[in-house]
Amino acid sequence: MMPESNESNFPRISVRPGFHWDRCPAYLFDIDGTLLRSRDRVHFNAFAEGVRRVTGFEISLEGVPLAGNTDTAILAEAFRQAGLASALLTENTAAILTAMAASVAEHREALDLVLMPGVKAALAHLARQNALLGVATGNLEAIGWIKIERAGLREWFRFGGFSDHYSVRPELVASAAAKARQMLAAPTAQVCVVGDTPRDIEAARASQLPVIAVATGHYSFEQLDALQPEVCASSLADLLALASTAPEE
């Protein structure tokens, strides 16, 4: 069984030669496991609550892979495991997603969010480099922004890519990267993905984007580093320490 977190007691960093992790024009940050951790079940419970409100049926997320997954894919798998007809989901997807977002909004005060080490300092550092910061997350848009706001991070992010219209992460990451380049008015600008799962790395690779992997979620440094991201770090705090100790060029 995967541990709840793989935050290391000592810094571990691997950087591909020639890649400067803090010099990309734009960054796409995953939310859960990368920026923050939820110590509540508000988002988790919203799936069953949303389905119940709209269809009257019950679903469970037991056995559904969550790490690195998208809300829309999680919902589809929960329907499948419950033996519910795919047509029922197709007909009611929009209403269920709206109900899920409403459930999280109604319980937003119960959200118990903890920032991962070094998040605010890393965002401030990248902002000082004039980087464009966005999120690319499997969360639904309304839910993702609620988490970002409740965690006190909203000031840093100008846009995002969410799973409302994408069941697979590579598509939402590609869409967010295209939006970043449009905002930068630079069609070939390097957009870096920051995430904590193999799916973040795979999504970045699908669009030929560099990726920073942080072992602050359910995957270890070794598991992430084996996939050869441009950067693998035990945490953003440890990665930021590398920048603060690097010699001036």
b/e for 165-193, b at 16 or more Cβ within 10 A?
Answer: ebbbbebbbbbbbebbbeeeeeeebbbbb
Report how far Cα 215 is from the mean position of its chain's Cα atoms.
13
Same domain, 138 and 207: yes
Domain span at residue 59 reads: 42-110
Total Cβ atoms within 10 A of residue 164: 20
C-alpha separations of 183 from 69, 83, 89 in Å: 27, 43, 34
Same domain, 141 and 223: yes
Tens of pLDDT along the chain (249 residues) come to 233 445 446 889 999 999 999 999 999 999 999 999 999 999 999 999 999 999 999 999 999 999 999 999 999 999 999 999 999 999 999 999 999 999 999 999 999 999 999 999 999 999 999 999 999 999 999 999 999 999 999 999 999 999 999 999 999 999 999 999 999 999 999 999 999 999 999 999 999 999 999 999 999 999 999 999 999 999 999 999 877 655 444
DSSP class of residue 152 equals: T
47, burial (CB in 10 Å: exposed 0-12, middle 13-18, buried 19+): buried
Q: Which of 56, 66, 60 is nearest to 83 (CA)?
A: 60
Same domain, 147 and 222: yes
Among residues 70, 93, 110, the one where a domain terminates is 110
Same domain, 23 and 126: yes
Q: What are the pLDDT digits (tens) for 81-107? A: 999 999 999 999 999 999 999 999 999
Asked, for residue 225, whether it belongs to a domain, the answer is yes
b/e for 98-119, b at 16 or more Cβ within 10 A?
Answer: bbbbebbeebeeebebeebbbb
Q: Which of 109, 65, 117, 128 is nearest to 234 (CA)?
A: 117
Same domain, 130 and 186: yes
Asked, for residue 57, whether it belongs to a domain, the answer is yes
| pTM of this structure | 0.93
- Total number of domains constituting the chain: 2
Among residues 82, 110, 138, the one where a domain terminates is 110
For position 4, what pLDDT does the model report?
Answer: 40
Among residues 91, 110, 129, the one where a domain terminates is 110
Same domain, 24 and 54: no
